[in-house]
Amino acid sequence: MSTATEALTPEQVLALPAMPAVKQAFAAMNIGEGTGYQLIRDGEFPIPVVEFGRAKRVRKTELCAFLGLSQSAAVEVQSTAATNDGAPGVQPGAPSQQSESTRASK
């Protein structure tokens, strides 16, 4: 039986841990669990699967390479997430912390 899993966005894929579970890889690739596990059993899954006991995982670097997502994009996503741009009530480009000189002048 295949369960419907919502596909991951590129940003969500880049935020995955270094060794995501194959179910997360299936979601990143927008394929169902049944199809994904069948491809693994048949030796046709497009990226290597690493087994730790019963747990099956993939390497994030290989998943990103298969999907055409570069690691430089990961750095950009993390950098963008660290800024205040788009936060309610905060002007775009505003610093996230006050500098020492600003605090000292108050």
Task: Report pLDDT digits (tens) over 1-47.
Answer: 445 568 999 999 999 999 999 999 999 999 999 999 999 999 999 99
With a threshold of 0.85, does the pTM exceed it? no
Amino acid 1: pLDDT: 43
Report the distance separating Cα 41 and Cα 45, nearest Å: 8
Helix, strand, coil shares of the chain as percentages rounded to 5? 45, 5, 50
Condensed to tens digits (0 to 9), the pLDDT of residues 41-87 reads: 999 999 999 999 999 999 999 999 999 997 665 555 555 555 555 55
